[in-house]
Amino acid sequence: MNVNGVRTLGLLGAGALMLLAGGGVTAVGAGAPGLDTRTFTRISCNEKHTAKGGSVWHCFGMTAAQIEAAEEQERQAREDALRGSYPDPEPVPRTRLTFVDHDGRQDPAEVTATRVGSRWIAHAPGVVGTGAALLAVGAGLAAAGVVRLRAATRSPAEQR
């Protein structure tokens, strides 16, 4: 296989990978069926300044099950206080949310997010836009690979 054949296969492979990545990012950003998707409330976001002079938002939220667990824990703590025992309750953990669409003035009321591994990715226009850009680049690379492949497989008589 010559160098042009390797480049053509490289374009096709890169295009296919970009299409897969773009489809995955778009599916996560829009909450495709079949993915673990939940709605979070009681959102609190904190702005953190980075070493490079920028800032990033760290947002946390609670699902309905987490809210119920926290309320049950509070009820149990009140009952224990009436009995005279004061155990140290463990705080109900809040879930960290990534790519929350935050305007910098007020925290959102609720956020819908999809789990990817151990992270929760919020449904946001920026995530969907990134997926769409990956899809466009992947389609362009794949199309360029197909054009090169077709040109390489034509016989010399067809090329005239």
pLDDT, tens digit (0-9, with 9 covering 90-100), for 77-90: 888 888 887 777 77
Q: Measured between alpha carbons, how far is 137 from 134 in angstroms, rounded to an integer? A: 5
Mean pLDDT of the chain: 85
SS (H, E, C) the chain: CCHHHHHHHHHHHHHHHHHHHHHHHHHHHHCCCCCCEEEEEEEEEEEEECCCCCEEEEEEEECHHHHHHHHHHHHHHHHHHHHCCCCCCCCCCCEEEECCCCCCCCCCCEEEEEEECCEEEECCHHHHHHHHHHHHHHHHHHHHHHHHHHHHHCCHHHHC
pLDDT at 158: 61
pLDDT at 50: 81
Q: Which of 19-28, 46-55, 114-123, 124-133 has the lowest mean pLDDT?
A: 46-55
The number of beta carbons lying within 10 Å of the beta carbon of residue 112 is 15
More confident position, 13 or 6: 13
Q: Measured between alpha carbons, how far is 154 from 25 in angstroms, rounded to an integer? A: 37
pLDDT, tens digit (0-9, with 9 covering 90-100), for 36-79: 889 999 999 888 888 887 778 889 999 999 999 889 988 888 88
Q: How many residues does the chain have?
A: 160
Sort residue 34 into left (φ over 0), alpha (ψ -120 to 50) or beta: left
Position 4 pLDDT exceeds 70: yes
pLDDT at 62: 93
pLDDT at 124: 84
pLDDT at 160: 56
Q: What is the mean pLDDT of residues 82-99?
A: 80
